[in-house]
Amino acid sequence: MTKFLNCKIDISLKVLEPRLETEYWTKKAIAMIRKIPRPAKVLDIFSGSGCIGIAVLKNTQSFLDFADISKDSLKQIKKNVKLNNIVNQRFTIIQSNIFSKIKSKYDFILANPPYVALDRIGEVDPQVLKKDPHLALFAGKDGMLIIEKFLKDVKKHLNHNGILFLEFDPLQKEKIKEILEKKKMEYVFQKDQFKKTRFVIAQNVFKGKSNN
């Protein structure tokens, strides 16, 4: 059992142990979600233990979908929503390969995908390699495999002016910037509490016609 913001998170079913960096930007996402004057529709994709989505549900009036490819993750989320007394009407849990089973559009998409480069496996703490599932960590040679597939379709699932929070490795900033430029999304890169560029907030700006 661990804590994530003001939530209890069980991680006994082989899911990623939530990181402090993720907690840092989730707090910022919650502050933004709370500002909109109606319950927001939110997607926690690559949800693992469900820590991000559970913190959002607990601290906002939103409705939220969890999505992950792993069965263990889906079971873990079920346990964790109960543990935090979240009522069933406010969320759904979807098994999906990135967006393959996602039909909706959202006001906010919150994403902590696997992004560790296989090239850098030697730099990963052996304890992490032993404890955390490799499906949750690695994404091809440069760690961009899942992020690239995800960004390719993300606009289709954002409402006009909808907002994306995406966590990544600081070394991936330039590649992500290039993709967001091509997608004509507005964005701002942000540092984590350890002064590393760790996440981007991007918006599907409404320019008067569909721009997916």
Q: What is the DSSP letter of 79?
A: H
| Closest C-alpha among 75, 80, 151 to residue 113 | 151
Could you write out the DSSP letters of every residue in 139-173? -STTS-HHHHHHHHHGGGGEEEEEEEEEE--GGGH
3-class DSSP state for residue 33? helix
Name which of 47 and 204 has its Cβ closer to ligand SAM: 47
Site for ligand SAM in 73-102 (CB under 6 A): 73, 96-98
- Select from 13, 16, 54, 57 the one that contacts ligand SAM (CB under 6 A): 16
In the complex, least distance from residue 73 CB atom to ligand SAM, rounded to whole angstroms: 5
Interface region with ligand SAM, contact rule CB under 6 A, candidates 35-43, 67-75, 85-93, 169-177: 67-75
- Map residues 163-182 to x or -, x wherever contact with ligand SAM holds by CB under 6 A: --------------------
177: left (phi over 0), alpha (psi -120 to 50) or beta: alpha
Q: Rule CB under 6 A: is residue 124 a binding residue for ligand SAM? A: no
* Binding region for ligand SAM (CB under 6 A): 15-16, 18, 22, 46-49, 51-52, 68-70, 73, 96-98, 112-114, 135-136, 146
